[in-house]
């Protein structure tokens, strides 16, 4: 018995405009072929459960994950110096730090040319003390 699986053809422009909706359709089993200039280039479809563990990230996502893991490893060593501040981790090391995470992001992005990095806040934020009519952080 032969089954004919129909695919929906979608141009790159439509993919950009409707990506979340197309991903949902693909997850439900629909095969969606992405075209560029009318030629099939890639396809979307559901992830098949093979029983394996979760799919490991690759590329920039893997680089970012490595920087995040480095941040977690470094926390005990940098706690005293950077507590309550934001730090940027590049190549597994503290590259910069500051109180304003947005400004820190801009500095690190410019300095490292778009390389993957992680920014996290060291330690926990100070506790909030609630008093009737007052709030102190």
> pLDDT tens-digit profile of 29-88?
888 999 989 888 888 888 776 665 566 777 788 888 899 999 999 999 999 999 989 999
Give which of 90, 79, 91 is closest to 121, Cα–Cα. Answer: 79
**Does pLDDT of 119 surpass 50?**
yes
Note whether residue 16 is domain-resident.
yes
CA count, 13 A, side-chain hemisphere, 134: 4
**Does pLDDT of 27 surpass 60?**
yes
Structural domain that includes position 104: 59-121
Mean pLDDT of the chain: 82
CB 7 within 8 A of CB 43: yes
Backbone phi, psi, residue 69, to 5°: -60, -40
Question: What pLDDT score was predicted for residue 71?
Answer: 93
Note whether residue 49 is domain-resident.
no
Question: What pLDDT score was predicted for residue 57?
Answer: 72
Residues 15 and 69 grouped into a single domain: no
Question: What pLDDT score was predicted for residue 10?
Answer: 92
């Amino acid at each position: 018995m032969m089954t004919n699986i129909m695919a929906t053809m979608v141009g790159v422009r439509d993919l950009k405009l409707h990506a979340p909706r197309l991903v949902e359709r693909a997850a439900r089993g629909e095969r969606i072929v992405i075209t560029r200039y009318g030629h099939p280039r890639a396809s979307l479809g559901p992830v098949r459960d093979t029983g394996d563990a979760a799919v490991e990230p690759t590329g920039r996502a893997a680089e970012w994950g490595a920087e995040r893991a480095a941040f977690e490893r470094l926390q005990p060593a940098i706690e005293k110096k950077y507590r309550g501040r934001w730090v940027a981790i590049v190549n597994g090391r503290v590259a910069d730090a500051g109180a304003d995470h947005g400004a820190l992001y801009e500095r690190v992005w410019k300095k490292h040319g778009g390389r993957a990095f992680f920014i996290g806040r060291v330690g926990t934020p100070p506790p909030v003390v609630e008093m009737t009519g007052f709030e102190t952080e």
